[in-house]
Amino acid sequence: MSDRVLIEQRGHVRVLTLNRPEARNALDPAAMEELSAALRAADDDPGTRAIVLTGAGTVFCAGLDMKAFARGGDIKGLVWFYHRSVPTPVIAALNGPALGGGFELVLACDLVVAAEDARLGMAEVKRGLFAGGGGTTLSQRIPMALALEMGLTGDPVTAAQAREYGLVNRVVPADRVLAEALALAARIAGNGPLGVAMTKKLMRQRRWCTPDEVQEVFGSADAKEGARAFAEGRAPEWTGR
């Protein structure tokens, strides 16, 4: 692997940084492959209970690397993440614009902290394309008229507008984005990992739990530990089992 994605562990939080600032963190095949591998590795690590995804420099991600696309590079490396994300909660820390495939990365994340000057949008139609990485599902997240305006014009919205639409959790000064995202991740990481993963799964699937899913979490060692810790007035020690 090269250095297109920087990886840092901060306690139970894995920080992944897109590291092509000279290309506005655009996604070429190598970057997609590295980010895909980094996301899977973080999700497979039992010591990682939350993931923060951000960008180097002043742009989160400008989307598909059009030069690589023009050369015929494989652009399917992140399709799996766009479609189903990972069980571990992922927080997007938007240090700057998230456009095209970068915006679709944001949609695949669970929570979003954005810089005040960040812009979000789908510019694919301006290049004769469409948002094939999940952007067309935007109408399931926000009112149809707003989704269509973003998708058909290709014009971005401000971070403040995105928050009004319900796409962004927090808007903060640019120099506070990563710290705010890490604080949010730490709050998630302090909770029982089985309960967190099941909550994410069921909320994303928009459904009730099954009896087996109830037993999986409520019958776990972590559930017993949570009850004991509450009764004893101490912080729980989660094992993920």
Between 45 and 133, name the one with better pLDDT.
Answer: 45
Residue 116 tokens read as 């005040």
124-166 pLDDT tens trace: 999 898 988 889 999 999 999 999 999 999 999 999 999 999 9
Q: What is the pLDDT of residues 81-135, one digit of tens each?
A: 988 889 999 999 999 999 999 999 999 999 999 999 999 999 999 989 898 888 9
What is the distance between the alpha carbons of residues 143 and 20, in angstroms, rounded to a whole number?
Answer: 34
Spatial distance between the Cα atoms of 9 and 149, rounded to a whole number of angstroms: 39
The full set of domains in the chain, from first to last, is: 5-189 (3.90.226.10), 193-232 (no CATH)
28 CB burial (10 A radius; 0-12, 13-18, 19+): buried
**Is the pTM here over 0.75, yes or no?**
yes
Query: What confidence score (pLDDT) does residue 75 get?
Result: 66
Residue 5 near residue 16 (C-beta atoms within 8 A)? yes
Residues designated as active site: 104, 124
Number of H helices, E strands in the chain: 10, 9
| Stretch (H or E) spanning 71 | none
Q: Is the pLDDT assigned to residue 68 strictly greater than 70?
A: no
- The first and second tokens of residue 208, run together, are 């009730």
> Going edge to edge, which strands form the sheet with 119-121?
98-99, 119-121, 157-158
